[in-house]
Chain A
Amino acid sequence: MQYIHSVHLDEDQCQACTICTKRCPTEAIRVYQGKARILEERCIDCGECMRTCPQEAKTSQTDPLEAVFAYPYAVALIAPSLYSQIPPAQFNIEGLVDGFSAVGFRAVADVSHGAEHVGEAYKQWISASETRPLISSACPAVVRLIQVKFDELTEHVMPIESPMEVTAELARRQLQDQGVKPEDIGIFFVSPCPAKVTAVKQPLGRSYSHVDGVLSFSDVYQELYPRLNEAGNPKGQRLFPMGRPGVRWGITAAQTYESEGIRMSLEGLDQVTAVLEDLSLGKLPDVDFIEANACPGGCIGGCLTVQSRFQAQVNLYRNLKHLPAKPQLDMDHFQRLYDQQFYMMHHALQPRPSQPLDPDISRAMQLMKRQEQILQTLPGLDCGACGSPNCQSLAEDIVRGWTTENDCIFILRESVQNLAKELWDLAQQVPPTIGRQKPSTEE
């Protein structure tokens, strides 16, 4: 299978420092020949390496803003977290729609509206399903983390579409009802993170996405910010209403708003990984629902945002005041869609476990034996100088045939020491022509 990724390495920038290898949650990065390489099948596009790279050598591929102008009817699909990026002094809802129209969009569709739909769908699914705990499917990096590293938990993921996908489909329907030609509509998600880019290019639980392109927050922001409150021509329309509960999805602990049951909210990959590890041991069976966001703070902490997440949190709370306190969801409409299975993923998520050492158990066992032997010889310092994240993964990389023991600088030093000693010993064994004393012929 081909994997499409948003996160890439800019080789010219990479200084082979190995910092990213240690932060990657799936141990997907190796450094060799002086450059960091990403193992395609393991990368979940979480963006952690972008955040930690001191050289800013990791980048996220998004669509250029010009892509928007290819569509006569471009729609800006805006994440709840976008509301955290605009300083409260400049913020008002109409002004935001105006700004987008001035940039070239005909309509704004709020994913916060889709979030209100999805939050309701989660509640109904929690009561319908017997699986516990259920894990939110809203963060695509977390979903892929589960598929790749905690494949045994795949069935715990909510089989419900993301707010982004739901909103895109609702927007398409609504515009077609208004008489806009389907081929004229271009829906562009304005994304806080690379994981969402990949979720569009290679969707989860479905074969195609209703989103036509993904723009990065930071790219859009440069164009949008100076044009806020400055209506474009034609004036743009706002497709959906939403209340504070929908927009709060930009911050952790907003999902399944006001519902019963035991809920848990996680943010940052360290928290998420620790809890998934617990779940796979069978712990936490009493929890009903787990909201898990890969980024610290939730989506407002995404690595394509422009404000610090702390500033973003303050902004979002202040901007929320312009919105109604209650969700703006039409419950009859929601229920009709729910009953038609509108919110369900099209097919079950597939686990994507990392490759065993060998598909044959006996042969895999042989390799594991070697791996253990190698591990014994490694210093156990997890220094990362070899380019693998830790000693254990170097041992694995060696038996997989990717590299050799001499990648370990400690082993290399030992080899050099041994070699030097051998050389010295050899040097002592001088041939008679040099070392033998001259026979005394003089006397």
Chain B
Amino acid sequence: MENILEFSFPVEGRSFNKAGDAAARVKQLLKQASIPSPFIRRAVVVAYEAELNMIIHSQGGTLRLAISPEQLTIQAVDQGPGIENLQRAMQEGYSTAPREARELGFGGGMGLSNIQRNADHLDIQSQQNEGTVLTAAIYLEKAASVS
């Protein structure tokens, strides 16, 4: 477990104009680390949706990336209202995004299901009125056998 490289990117709540900045940096770093591109693609989707969730729903937080030779971990830690009903939140098209976000074309209710589809493991810990910690992992072991 010692061979882990971590990065963190602050994300401001409601900063719609910056949506994607952190995910774009994640992409750059993963390319430098010679992660095979199908994994990069999935990690970038996860990072972008997680980043977007924080922007839409929270007062801000941190997006973290951890790279190890075995797996990529993306974690979003925010201070926000928490997720009221996790099961419903996971459903495609279910959205609790505020009007402000929807008017800008965000918050279509696909975020969490998109993350789930692209991650090998997903864990969400949420405390109402405190915040949410979303942790998604993408396993790289299969990389060797695939490529």
- Mark A residues whose CB is within 8 Å of B: 151-152, 277-278, 280-283, 351, 353-354, 356-362, 364-365, 368-369, 371-372, 396
Q: In residues 40-60 of chain B, which contact A (Cβ within 8 Å)?
A: 40-41, 44-45, 48
Task: Write 12 A-B pairs (CB below 8 A) sorted by A numbering.
Answer: A277-B24, A278-B20, A280-B24, A282-B44, A282-B114, A353-B31, A356-B31, A364-B32, A365-B5, A365-B68, A371-B32, A396-B32
Instruction: Indicate which residue in A281, A353, A358 contacts B44 across the interface (CB closer than 8 Å).
Output: A281
Is B69's CB under 8 angstroms from A281's CB?
Answer: no
Assess A368 versus B24: contact at CB under 8 Å? Given A356-B33, A357-B32, A359-B34. no
Instruction: Please list the 8 inter-chain residue pairs (A to B) with the smallest Cβ-Cβ separation, ordered nearest first.
Output: A356-B34, A281-B48, A365-B5, A364-B33, A361-B69, A281-B20, A364-B34, A357-B32
Q: Would you give the shortest CB distance from A292 to chain B, in whole angstroms? A: 18
Q: Is the interface of A mostly helix, strand, loop or mixed?
A: helix
B29 interfacial contact with A, CB 8 Å: yes
Is B23's CB under 8 angstroms from A362's CB?
Answer: no
Is A152's CB under 8 angstroms from B33's CB?
Answer: no
- The residue of chain A having its C-beta at the shortest distance from the C-beta of B27 within the complex is A280
Instruction: Indicate which residue in B7, B37, B67 contacts A151 across the interface (CB closer than 8 Å).
Output: B37
B3 interfacial contact with A, CB 8 Å: yes
Instruction: Indicate which residue in B5, B7, B32, B40 contacts A152 across the interface (CB closer than 8 Å).
Output: B40
- The residue of chain A having its C-beta at the shortest distance from the C-beta of B25 within the complex is A392
Beyond A356-B34, A364-B33, A365-B33, list 20 extra A-B contacts (CB 8 Å).
Answer: A152-B37, A277-B24, A278-B20, A280-B27, A280-B44, A281-B45, A281-B48, A282-B48, A351-B37, A358-B34, A360-B34, A362-B3, A362-B69, A364-B32, A364-B34, A365-B5, A368-B5, A368-B32, A368-B67, A369-B5
Q: How many residues of B contact A (CB 8 A)?
A: 24
Assess A368 versus B20: contact at CB under 8 Å? Given A152-B40, A359-B34, A361-B69. no
- The residue of chain A having its C-beta at the shortest distance from the C-beta of B41 within the complex is A152
Question: Bound complex: CA of A272 vs CA of B115, how far in Å?
Answer: 27
Instruction: Indicate which residue in A277, A278, A281, A356 contacts B32 across the interface (CB closer than 8 Å).
Output: A356
Most buried by B among A281, A357, A362, A372: A281
Q: Which residues of chain A are near B40, meaning CB under 8 Å?
A: 152
Question: Bound complex: CA of A359 vs CA of B81, how far in Å?
Answer: 43
Q: Which residues of chain A are near B44, meaning CB under 8 Å?
A: 280-282
Question: Bound complex: CA of A283 vs CA of B67, how far in Å?
Answer: 24
B97 interfacial contact with A, CB 8 Å: no
- The residue of chain A having its C-beta at the shortest distance from the C-beta of B20 within the complex is A281
Question: Bound complex: CA of A364 vs CA of B68, how far in Å?
Answer: 11
Assess A361 versus B41: contact at CB under 8 Å? Given A277-B24, A278-B20, A281-B20. no
Assess A361 versus B7: contact at CB under 8 Å? Given A152-B40, A280-B44. no
Q: Would you give the shortest CB distance from A158 to chain B, in whole angstroms? A: 20
Q: Would you give the shortest CB distance from B65 to chain A, in whole angstroms? A: 11
Q: Would you give the shortest CB distance from A357 to chain B, in whole angstroms? A: 5
B90 interfacial contact with A, CB 8 Å: no
B35 interfacial contact with A, CB 8 Å: yes
- The residue of chain A having its C-beta at the shortest distance from the C-beta of B70 within the complex is A361
Q: Which residues of chain A are near B114, meaning CB under 8 Å?
A: 282
Q: Which residues of chain A are near B32, meaning CB under 8 Å?
A: 356-357, 364, 368, 371, 396
- The residue of chain A having its C-beta at the shortest distance from the C-beta of B30 within the complex is A356
- The residue of chain B having its C-beta at the shortest distance from the C-beta of A371 within the complex is B32
Assess A365 versus B3: contact at CB under 8 Å? Given A277-B20, A280-B44, A281-B23. yes
Q: Which residues of chain A are near B34, meaning CB under 8 Å?
A: 356-361, 364
Instruction: Indicate which residue in B27, B31, B33, B37 contacts A361 across the interface (CB closer than 8 Å).
Output: B33
Is A281's CB under 8 angstroms from B24's CB?
Answer: yes
Question: Bound complex: CA of A369 vs CA of B3, how far in Å?
Answer: 11
Question: Bound complex: CA of A220 vs CA of B115, how far in Å?
Answer: 56
Q: Which residues of chain B are near A353, meaning CB under 8 Å?
A: 31, 37
Question: Bound complex: CA of A371 vs CA of B25, how far in Å?
Answer: 14
Is A361's CB under 8 angstroms from B20's CB?
Answer: no
- The residue of chain B having its C-beta at the shortest distance from the C-beta of A358 within the complex is B34
Most buried by A among B3, B29, B33: B33
Q: Would you give the shortest CB distance from B37 to chain A, in whole angstroms? A: 6
Q: In residues 93-138 of chain B, which contact A (Cβ within 8 Å)?
A: 114
Question: Bound complex: CA of A113 vs CA of B58, how far in Å?
Answer: 55
Q: Which residues of chain B are near A360, meaning CB under 8 Å?
A: 34
Q: Which residues of chain A are near B69, meaning CB under 8 Å?
A: 361-362, 365
Question: Bound complex: CA of A358 vs CA of B34, how far in Å?
Answer: 7
Q: Would you give the shortest CB distance from B35 to chain A, in whole angstroms? A: 7
Question: Bound complex: CA of A365 vs CA of B69, how far in Å?
Answer: 9
Assess A368 versus B29: contact at CB under 8 Å? Given A280-B44, A281-B48, A362-B69. yes
Q: Would you give the shortest CB distance from B85 to chain A, in whole angstroms? A: 26
Q: Which residues of chain A are near B45, meaning CB under 8 Å?
A: 281-282
Q: Which residues of chain A are near B20, meaning CB under 8 Å?
A: 277-278, 281, 283
Question: Bound complex: CA of A360 vs CA of B3, how far in Å?
Answer: 13
Q: Which residues of chain A are near B140, meaning CB under 8 Å?
A: 361
- The residue of chain B having its C-beta at the shortest distance from the C-beta of A282 within the complex is B45
Q: Which residues of chain A are near B35, meaning CB under 8 Å?
A: 361
Is A357's CB under 8 angstroms from B33's CB?
Answer: yes
Q: Would you give the shortest CB distance from A402 to chain B, in whole angstroms? A: 15
Most buried by B among A278, A282, A353, A358: A282
Q: Which residues of chain B are near A277, meaning CB under 8 Å?
A: 20, 24
Q: Which residues of chain B are near A359, meaning CB under 8 Å?
A: 34
